[in-house]
Protein backbone atom coordinates (compact mmCIF):
# COMPACT_ATOMS: atom_id res chain seq x y z
CA UNK A 1 0.00 0.00 0.00
CA UNK A 2 1.45 3.37 -1.00
CA UNK A 3 1.77 6.15 1.58
CA UNK A 4 -1.02 8.18 -0.05
CA UNK A 5 -3.40 5.21 -0.05
CA UNK A 6 -2.58 4.50 3.59
CA UNK A 7 -3.30 8.11 4.60
CA UNK A 8 -6.57 8.12 2.65
CA UNK A 9 -7.71 4.88 4.28
CA UNK A 10 -6.73 6.17 7.71
CA UNK A 11 -8.71 9.39 7.15
CA UNK A 12 -11.71 7.36 6.01
CA UNK A 13 -11.53 5.15 9.11
CA UNK A 14 -11.38 8.26 11.31
CA UNK A 15 -14.39 9.78 9.54
CA UNK A 16 -16.33 6.55 9.98
CA UNK A 17 -15.55 6.60 13.73
CA UNK A 18 -16.32 10.34 14.02
CA UNK A 19 -12.72 11.04 15.01
CA UNK A 20 -10.62 14.00 14.06
CA UNK A 21 -6.97 14.90 14.39
CA UNK A 22 -6.28 17.25 17.31
CA UNK A 23 -2.93 18.86 18.10
CA UNK A 24 -1.58 18.40 21.60
CA UNK A 25 0.68 20.78 23.46
CA UNK A 26 2.48 19.78 26.63
CA UNK A 27 4.91 21.45 29.00
CA UNK A 28 8.58 20.85 28.22
CA UNK A 29 9.95 18.47 30.89
CA UNK A 30 13.47 19.77 30.18
CA UNK A 31 12.50 23.17 31.59
CA UNK A 32 13.76 23.81 35.13
CA UNK A 33 10.51 25.59 36.04
CA UNK A 34 8.41 22.65 34.87
CA UNK A 35 10.62 20.17 36.72
CA UNK A 36 10.31 22.19 39.95
CA UNK A 37 6.53 22.39 39.62
CA UNK A 38 6.27 18.63 39.00
CA UNK A 39 8.54 17.92 42.00
CA UNK A 40 6.33 20.11 44.21
CA UNK A 41 3.19 18.32 43.02
CA UNK A 42 4.74 14.90 43.62
CA UNK A 43 5.84 15.94 47.11
CA UNK A 44 2.28 17.03 47.88
CA UNK A 45 0.76 13.64 46.97
CA UNK A 46 -0.95 11.74 49.76
CA UNK A 47 0.77 8.37 50.22
CA UNK A 48 -2.40 6.60 51.35
CA UNK A 49 -4.44 7.89 48.41
CA UNK A 50 -1.71 6.81 45.98
CA UNK A 51 -1.49 3.35 47.58
CA UNK A 52 -5.27 2.98 47.38
CA UNK A 53 -5.20 3.90 43.69
CA UNK A 54 -2.38 1.47 42.93
CA UNK A 55 -4.09 -1.32 44.86
CA UNK A 56 -7.32 -0.73 42.93
CA UNK A 57 -5.47 -0.74 39.59
CA UNK A 58 -3.75 -3.98 40.54
CA UNK A 59 -7.03 -5.57 41.66
CA UNK A 60 -8.92 -4.76 38.46
CA UNK A 61 -6.03 -5.56 36.13
CA UNK A 62 -5.63 -9.10 37.47
CA UNK A 63 -9.24 -10.03 36.92
CA UNK A 64 -10.64 -11.69 33.81
CA UNK A 65 -14.14 -11.29 35.18
CA UNK A 66 -15.81 -7.99 34.18
CA UNK A 67 -18.00 -8.07 37.31
CA UNK A 68 -15.01 -8.52 39.62
CA UNK A 69 -14.22 -4.80 39.49
CA UNK A 70 -14.79 -3.18 42.91
CA UNK A 71 -17.89 -1.07 42.25
CA UNK A 72 -17.25 1.34 45.12
CA UNK A 73 -14.25 2.75 43.21
CA UNK A 74 -16.08 3.48 39.94
Q: How far apart are the first and last CA of the chain?
A: 43
User: Would you say residue 64 has pLDDT above 80?
Assistant: no
User: Would you say residue 55 has pLDDT above 60?
Assistant: yes
User: Would you say residue 17 has pLDDT above 70?
Assistant: yes
Helix (H, G, I), strand (E, B) or coil at 53: helix
Q: Where are the domains of the chain?
A: 24-62
Per-residue confidence at 61, pLDDT binned at 50, 70, 90? confident
Average pLDDT over residues 28-44: 96
Higher pLDDT, 22 or 37: 37
Indicate the pTM of the whole model: 0.46
Average pLDDT over residues 52-69: 78
> Cα 37 to chain center, whole Å?
20
Amino acid sequence: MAAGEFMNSMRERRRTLNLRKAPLAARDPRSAAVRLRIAAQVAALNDQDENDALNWIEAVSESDEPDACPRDHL
